[in-house]
Structure 1
Amino acid sequence: MPQQEYPWKSLSASRNTNISDAIKVDGSKHDFYWARSHEGLPQLICKLPEAVPLDVTLPTFNGIEARLVEAGGECLLVMQLTDMTFEQLFYHLCLNLIESTRSADSAAAIVAVIAGRLKRWQKLLGKKSVPGMLTRQEQQGLMGELFFLRDKLFDWTGYRQAVECWVAPDEHPQDFALPGPTSVEVKCRQTTSPDMVKISSAWQLHQEDGDIVLAVLALGKGKEESAGHFTLASLVEDIRQTLASTPDASELFEDALFGWGYIDLPEYNVTWWQPASWRAYGVDGSFPKLTVLDLKQGIVDVSYRLSLPDCSSWEMDILDLKSAF
């Protein structure tokens, strides 16, 4: 987002923490305002509908702090950017917080939702070298999961159940947990790369009960605005539009995206792709894999590359997964 477009750019520094010189956020359910601190730092202020205890501790991280204050007889929840390096990130965090509170119906609920979101952002940013930005490999992995969600699960079951099956954002060993139980690990590879996938953990193809299916999506280079071609951002937006009429599924999807580490950034709308093909493999006891049961004492974990041509004996029709529903 260009710097001059940030909503606080037109504001002057405020001598006090208040909303008298602030700009109310358009379309927000609650009273959110864009503001600047007396040092001129960007703020998002929520005027709470009633008073709450001010001693609630809110997470602070990566140059972003949050606090509850009383000013002018009003109870305010103030989010403030303290390091301008993270200005773009702060803007997207603010939008996420505004959207996440739509279902909150009291001041206490608003504070609880925002505190929970801030904790998730704190955890998310704590494990990334570039705050808010997924690596190229992570973007490709997310695209594979989103395509499985949209092109498979949305056709097989209701939207809410489909999104509930997406468990990767909750750090589950596999990406999807279907009824049965059947777990699906989704891998995404480029058509121009070697015909193999990386198994990044001894847990990915391990399951105590039920079945595991390895689903592999091949992606080819796409062209801008061509039919069926997409960027990561346009794929996310397409799913959002699909879920727009199902608010509960839409909210779950946004939570899952956030848990995965995705926020709306212009960098995700640059590279275009087109889906080429799906393949699926039934991971049984004889499937070539390394799991936690194979690790000798002293080996904590392992990652390895799996040759797909050597797995042809275990290939199955991905449509067979529909029977899980």
Structure 2
Amino acid sequence: MINPWESIKTPATDLSARRIDHKHPLDIFWAKDRLGRYLFVCKLTDECKLPSKYPSLFGIEITSISETKQLVLSLKNPSDWELFFSLCNDIISATRILAPAAVVPVIFRRIERWREFLKKDKVKLLAERTIKGLIGELVYLNLHLAKKYGISQAIDFWTGPEGSPQDFNVKNVAIEVKCQIGTSAPKVKISSAEQLCSQLDELYLFVVTLGRTEPESQDSVSLPSLISNIQTTLEEEGNTQQLEQFLDALLEIGYIHNEEYFNYSYIIASKKFYEVTENFPRITLLDIPNGIGNVTYDLELTNCEPFLTDEPWVSLV
């Protein structure tokens, strides 16, 4: 990750700035003040209305300069620049396709969302198991659901980050997504009895088999590349609500952009659907005695072969 503030000289007075994105509806800049602090500056237009009170954000000061109509985010500790950079890029992504008058409310919604995120325990990178699981969900979202229903509807179907037992709910059908590495035994971990026990009419298990590869390999997939593709599609279609919804889901999972995620690159070796019916090998809620909770188990996929099925599509009519 390249620090955009390193190449900006500290000014003797005022600010030294570099414009970020000429396609953005407002003029936005990476900047430094005379104290050398890292700033994110947004030059407002007459249509922009600032709130009467700004939220507090740990390590970041939010101010406005009325004379020049600028909204300024200042980083207090330069060592936290990567997190600050991710916050700024989140704001840029969420506001790039808006009309100028709509930008400020979204900026403060993103700041509030990050305020909630920063209250949680954070790690620099997600665990590899979580990385693989998120890749599987985004592969299903972008390469399957979006192809059938469009990216906006696919985002609405993604219910896992909201706490749903299954990753996707499509009308009366639930889909649970799992990933495995091709060199390992053909099995996936089921983290709760509820995952393979849906309240909906139908339930399917979608298993993606991945193989580790180099980041520059042809046809490789990684979290940053998948996320970038989805964000670009949402921006091109002007889907501001689903774009914010998508960014919120990533924060809920604990993902913020980091170049190190490119080191976790994979090729998709296979994709399979299993129909979870009454005789499917699983632990149901009725199998669990009173007093037993937090059931997790390994599902041997070789025993699931009789339940292989074609990709399930459901009509939204």
Partner of 2:265: 272
1:30 aligns with 2:23: no
Provide the C-alpha distance between the structure 1 equivalents of 2:61 and 2:287, rounded to a whole number of angstroms.
Answer: 46
The one-letter amino acid paired with 1:99 is S
The one-letter amino acid paired with 1:210 is D
Using the size of structure 2 for normalisation, the TM-score is: 0.82
SS at match of 2:195: coil
Partner of 1:56: 53
Provide the C-alpha distance between the structure 2 equivalents of 1:257 and 1:218, rounded to a whole number of angstroms.
Answer: 22
| Aligned 8 A contact 1:68 1:75 in 2 | no
Provide the C-alpha distance between the structure 1 equivalents of 2:314 and 2:52, rounded to a whole number of angstroms.
Answer: 52
| Aligned 8 A contact 2:183 2:211 in 1 | yes
Alignment equivalent of 2:280, drawn from 284, 287, 292: 287
SS at match of 2:165: coil
Q: Which runs of 5+ in 1 are unaligned?
A: none
Runs of 4+ in structure 1 over 6 Å off: none
Alignment of 1:164-179 (within 5 A): 164-179=156-171
CA drift at 1:102: 3.0
The one-letter amino acid paired with 1:130 is V
Q: Which digits, 9 at most, give the CA deviation of each residue in 1:33-79, with x for residues without a partner?
A: 32224542211122333474664241413x3x24243x353454322
Provide the C-alpha distance between the structure 1 equivalents of 2:16 and 2:177, rounded to a whole number of angstroms.
Answer: 50
Q: Check 1:42–1:318 CA distance in 2 against 1; reply closer, same or farther (3 A cut).
A: farther
Using the size of structure 1 for normalisation, the TM-score is: 0.80
Q: Check 1:47–1:202 CA distance in 2 against 1; reply closer, same or farther (3 A cut).
A: farther
Q: Which digits, 9 at most, give the CA deviation of each residue in 1:149-183, with x for residues without a partner?
A: 2332233233322232222333332211112x111
Provide the C-alpha distance between the structure 1 equivalents of 2:71 and 2:287, rounded to a whole number of angstroms.
Answer: 51
Alignment of 1:118-267 (within 5 A): 118-131=111-124, 133-179=125-171, 181-223=172-214, 225-239=216-230, 245-248=236-239, 251=243, 254-255=246-247, 256-267=249-260
SS at match of 1:22: strand
The one-letter amino acid paired with 1:44 is F
Provide the C-alpha distance between the structure 1 equivalents of 2:143 and 2:55, rounded to a whole number of angstroms.
Answer: 39
Q: Which digits, 9 at most, give the CA deviation of each residue in 1:253-311, with x for residues without a partner?
A: 85344554434322122243211112222223443434556555554533322222233
Q: Check 1:287–1:123 CA distance in 2 against 1; reply closer, same or farther (3 A cut).
A: farther
Q: Check 1:14–1:141 CA distance in 2 against 1; reply closer, same or farther (3 A cut).
A: farther
Partner of 2:95: 101
Alpha-carbon RMSD across the aligned residues, in angstroms, is 3.1
Q: Check 1:24–1:242 CA distance in 2 against 1; reply closer, same or farther (3 A cut).
A: closer
Provide the C-alpha distance between the structure 2 equivalents of 1:13 and 1:292, rounded to a whole number of angstroms.
Answer: 65
| Aligned 8 A contact 2:16 2:33 in 1 | no
| Aligned 8 A contact 1:42 1:80 in 2 | yes
Alignment equivalent of 2:9, drawn from 2, 5, 11: 11
Aligned-residue identity in percent: 32
Q: Check 1:286–1:118 CA distance in 2 against 1; reply closer, same or farther (3 A cut).
A: farther
| Aligned 8 A contact 1:169 1:259 in 2 | yes
